[in-house]
Amino acid sequence: MDRDPSAFAEELRILVDTIANEAHDSAGWTGRSALSPRVMAAMREVPRHLFVPPGERAYAYVNRPLAIGHGQTISQPFIVAVMSDLLDLEPTDRVLEIGTGCGYQTAVLARLARHVYSIEVVAELAEDAARRLHGLGCANVSLRHGDGYAGWPEEAPFDAVILTAAPPRLPQSLIDQLRPGGRLVAPLGLAHETQMLCRCVKAADGSLAREDKLPVAFVPMVVPGPGHRLR
């Protein structure tokens, strides 16, 4: 049964406090002891219980990743917040996201940027996310079912790029689609090993300055094979 959204108000308040505390506690890693007020407002505004399967709703505002089916997860709220913060988005920015999943991070980004372009490799997840984000009235989002390694060249260059699945190393195609001065935030590393969340800034000459921020555990960014239904 769906609970009245106001029933989650207290849990949401506690979650937002938890995110602020965790940001403070991990400042030694991230270099940021507080997240921007815009990011904190977005975390308050997006109804996370609408992004988790009905059976998981009771846990929607716990600061944990949750299973969403297809072997995939909805990211931990703190990680969504910190990655959004590290992108340093302006309201005029256009963002490329790889790994839509349930669309929760997409919805947060949509409140911080002018437009979000998001790519998901699992067809059913892409379709569900499209329905959900449309239902929530997120009009500044474009979704594509496809391989994130290709990026979205027709809409490049982007002011910011975020990966929510971990490749072993940064795909050159995605670096190419970032504008000079643009920011890229991604977990990097092998599947099932601790990965590093890194923040990169592209210089005018095309080179990337990279800073490692936080050890994280993300699902791998898969290379779609013949078994994947891509269109």
* Closest CB to ligand SAH among residues 27, 41: 41
Q: Which is nearer to ligand SAH, 148 or 189 (CB)?
A: 148
Task: Quote the CA–CA distance of 126 and 228 in Å, as a whole number.
Answer: 13
Among 135, 71, 151, which Cα is nearest to 103's?
135
Give the type of residue at 197: L
Query: Which CB, 31 or 69, lies closer to ligand SAH?
Result: 69
Gyration radius (Cα) of the chain, Å: 17
- Strand pairing class (195-202; 72-74): unpaired
Instruction: Confirm or reject binding of residue 125 to ligand SAH (CB under 6 A).
Output: yes
Contact (CB, 8 A) for 184 and 168: no
Q: How many residues bind ligand SAH (CB under 6 A)?
A: 24
User: Smaller CB distance to ligand SAH: residue 105 or 195?
Assistant: 105
Of residues 141-170, which lie at the interface with ligand SAH (CB under 6 A)? 147-149, 164-165
207 is known as an active-site residue: no
Stretch that binds ligand SAH, among 22-30, 72-80, 152-160, 192-200 (CB under 6 A): 72-80
Any alpha helices (H) in the chain, and if so which ranges? Answer: 9-25, 27-30, 37-45, 77-86, 104-110, 123-135, 172-176
Q: Which of 12, 22, 81, 105 binds ligand SAH (CB under 6 A)?
A: 105
Catalytic residue among 75, 118, 142, 207: 75
From 9-17, 81-89, 93-101, 209-217, give the range in contact with ligand SAH by CB under 6 A: 93-101
**Taking CB under 6 A as the rule, which mask of x and - marks residues 22-61 in contact with ligand SAH?**
----------------------------------------
CA distances from 93 to 57, 105, 109, 129, 174 (A): 32, 16, 10, 22, 16
Identity of the residue, 188 or 221, whose beta carbon is nearer to ligand SAH in the bound complex: 221
Residues 6+ apart with CB under 8 A from 18: 63, 77, 78
Binding site for ligand SAH (CB under 6 A): 72-75, 80, 98-99, 101-102, 104-105, 119-122, 125, 147-149, 164-165, 219, 221-222
